[in-house]
């Protein structure tokens, strides 16, 4: 007899294909369940980013772990991070160097144009707007570049082409992700010291998961799913549908549908065999 649970009542079981939660609730459920995992991944990521040149491979490795979390696949954090770091090193190295260069351009442009904020020359501000627009497009492309490096066997030019297209196709996912990135940058600008103290704890892993959660479904929809459909197959990353199961099965899993069975308590004393 349990203290808080009646063990004499058999439950209705667990449904094989549970109802999928809405993205908002699923995101926060995963985040809370994996909170300490995110902190661990964030710390490992920072360690591997200490030499700036490894920014790209470290980001690809972290994205690999975030993709596994999104797909709810089991993993060994450091082992899988190191494996992905080595596997995608050369392909992601160039992307990382280019990203660092873009970050430097963005910071320099912001400082330069802020120092000349009183300049009323229209071409001056048009040039600044153009630079910022290009930086935003590059940032949105990164939402897709590293997940493709982690998940697909494609050449870098094809990955860049796909990323540029998806940056303008998945508008909703891009805007949500971009908004959180910009909010983080604003907080970093206004509360520099506290946000720098927070760096080893969470922000990079959380933003990486946010990006994968919002943008990886677009990669599945426009790249992965069509590839399998051309072969008459279904993307194995997607959950199974009940109507696709074999109709000739002998036994059917009815977990979650059966009525609970109450086990009658036997009050009669029985013989004790010694």
At 238 the three-state DSSP class reads: coil
Tell me: the pLDDT tens digits for 79-93? Answer: 999 999 999 999 999
Residue 212 to residue 210: CA distance in whole angstroms: 6
Q: Is the pLDDT of residue 246 over 60?
A: no
Nearest to 139, CA basis, from 99, 111, 94? 99
Question: What tens digit of pLDDT does each residue of 102-148 get?
Answer: 999 988 888 888 777 776 766 777 888 898 999 999 999 999 999 99
Tokens of 102: 């873009």
Task: Give percent of the chain with pLDDT exceeding 90.
Answer: 58
The tokens for 157 are 């030019």
Greater confidence (211 vs 240) lies with 211
Calculate the average pLDDT of the chain. 85
Other C-beta atoms lying within 10 Å of the C-beta of residue 159:
21
Q: What is the distance between the alpha carbons of residues 245 and 16, in angstroms, rounded to a whole number?
A: 12
The predicted structure's pLDDT at residue 50: 84
Residues 6 or more apart whose Cβ sits within 8 Å of residue 213: 23, 27, 30, 70
3-state secondary structure of 111: helix
- Please report the pLDDT score of residue 163 as a whole number: 97
For residue 210, which of 179, 232, 237 has the smallest C-alpha distance? 179
Angle, helices 35-48 vs 203-219, to 10°: value is: 100
Categorize the per-residue pLDDT at 274 as very low, low, confident or very high, splitting at 50, 70 and 90: very low
CA 191/CA 189 separation, integer angstroms: 6
Torsion of Cα atoms, 80 then 86 then 87 then 90, to 10°: 150
The encoded tokens of residue 56 equal 């790209």
Question: Residue 69 CB: number of other CB atoms within 10 A?
Answer: 22
Q: What is the mean pLDDT of the segment spanning 44-61?
A: 93
Q: How far apart are CA 45 and CA 208, in angstroms?
A: 11
Q: Which residue bears the tokens 């910071």?
A: 107
* pLDDT tops 70 at residue 248: no
Domain boundaries, the chain: 22-238
**What is the reported pLDDT for 182?**
93
Please report the sign of the dihedral spanned by the C-alpha atoms of residue 34, residue 150, residue 186, residue 197.
positive
SS3 245: coil
């Amino acid at each position: 007899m349990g203290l808080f649970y009646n063990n004499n009542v058999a439950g209705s079981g667990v449904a094989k294909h549970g109802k999928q939660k809405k993205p908002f609730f699923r995101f926060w459920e995963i985040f809370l369940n994996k909170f300490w995992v995110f902190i661990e991944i964030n710390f490992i990521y920072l360690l591997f980013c200490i030499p700036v040149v490894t920014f790209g491979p470290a980001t690809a490795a972290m994205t690999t772990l975030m993709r596994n979390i999104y797909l709810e696949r089991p993993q060994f954090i450091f082992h899988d991070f190191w494996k992905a770091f080595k596997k995608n090193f050369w392909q992601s190295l160039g992307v990382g160097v280019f990203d660092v260069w873009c970050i430097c351009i963005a910071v320099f442009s912001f400082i330069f144009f802020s120092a000349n904020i009183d300049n009323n020359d229209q071409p001056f501000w048009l040039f600044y707007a153009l630079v910022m627009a290009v930086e935003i497009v590059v940032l949105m492309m990164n939402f897709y570049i590293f997940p493709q490096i982690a998940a697909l066997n494609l050449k870098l030019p094809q990955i860049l082409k796909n990323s540029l297209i998806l940056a303008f196709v998945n508008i909703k996912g891009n805007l949500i992700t971009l908004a959180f990135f910009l909010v983080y940058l604003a907080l970093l600008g206004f509360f520099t010291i506290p946000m720098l103290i927070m760096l080893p704890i969470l922000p990079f892993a959380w933003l990486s998961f946010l990006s994968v959660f919002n943008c990886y479904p677009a990669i599945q929809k426009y790249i992965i799913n069509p590839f399998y459909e051309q072969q008459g197959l279904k993307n194995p990353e997607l959950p199974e549908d009940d109507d696709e199961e074999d109709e000739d099965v002998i036994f059917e899993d009815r977990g979650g549908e059966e009525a609970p069975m109450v086990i009658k308590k036997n009050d009669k004393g029985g013989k004790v065999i010694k």
